[in-house]
Amino acid sequence: MNYVDQPETLDSNGVTSAVLAERQSEGRKWPLHYDSVESFAIAADVATITASSVLSGFLYHLHDAAGANDVSKSLGLAILVSALFVSLMKIRGMYRPTELLILTRQIRAVCLTWSTAFLVLAGALFALKIGSEFSRGTSIVFAMFGLAALVLHRRITASLLAKGLAERRFSGRSIVLITDAEGQDNIGLTQALTDAGFRVKRQFLLPDSTSDPDQRQHMVASVIDYVRGSDVEEIVVGASPDPRSDLRTLGAELRVLPFPVSFVPLGPASDIFKRPRRELGDAVRIELQRGLLSPFEHAAKRVIDLALAGIALTVLSPLLVLVAIAIKLDSRGPVLFRQQRCGFNGRSFQIYKFRTMSVLEDGPRIIQAQAGDSRFTRLGSWLRRTSIDELPQLLNVLNGSMSVVGPRPHALAHDNEFDKLVRNYAFRRRVKPGLTGWAQVHGCRGPTPTRESIERRVEHDLWYIDNWSLSLDLAILLRTPLELIRGDNAY
Q: 264: which strand partners?
A: 238
- Give the pLDDT of residue 397: 95
pLDDT tens readout for residues 369-410: 666 677 888 888 888 888 898 999 999 999 999 999 999 998
- Residue 314 has a pLDDT of 93
Residue 86: exposed, middle, or buried by beta-carbon count in 10 A (0-12, 13-18, 19+)?
buried
CATH number belonging to domain 172-281: 3.40.50.11900
pLDDT, residue 405, reads: 94
What's the pLDDT at 43?
Answer: 92
For CATH 3.40.50.11900, the residue range(s) in the chain are 172-281
3-state secondary structure of 4: strand
Stated pTM of the model:
0.55
Angle between helices 136-166 and 71-91 (to 10 degrees): 50
Mean pLDDT by 10 residues, the chain (491 residues): 42 38 53 82 93 83 58 82 89 86 87 85 67 68 89 91 80 83 71 79 80 81 88 86 70 85 80 75 76 79 92 93 92 89 89 85 66 78 86 94 92 82 84 91 77 87 86 87 71 52
pLDDT at 490: 56
Distance CA 105, CA 86 (A): 16
* pLDDT score for 4: 47
pLDDT for 128 = 62
The pLDDT value given to residue 312: 92
The 3-class secondary structure across 38-83, one letter per residue, is HHHHHHHHHHHHHHHHHHHHHHHCCCCCCCCCCHHHHHHHHHHHHH
pLDDT of residue 48: 93
Least Cα distance to 263 among 218, 183, 206, 184 occurs for 206
Report the pLDDT value the prediction gives residue 14, as an integer from 0 to 100: 35
What's the pLDDT score for residue 181? 65
Q: Looking at residue 432, what is its pLDDT?
A: 92
pLDDT of residue 134: 62
Look at residue 487 in the predicted model and tell me its pLDDT.
Answer: 61
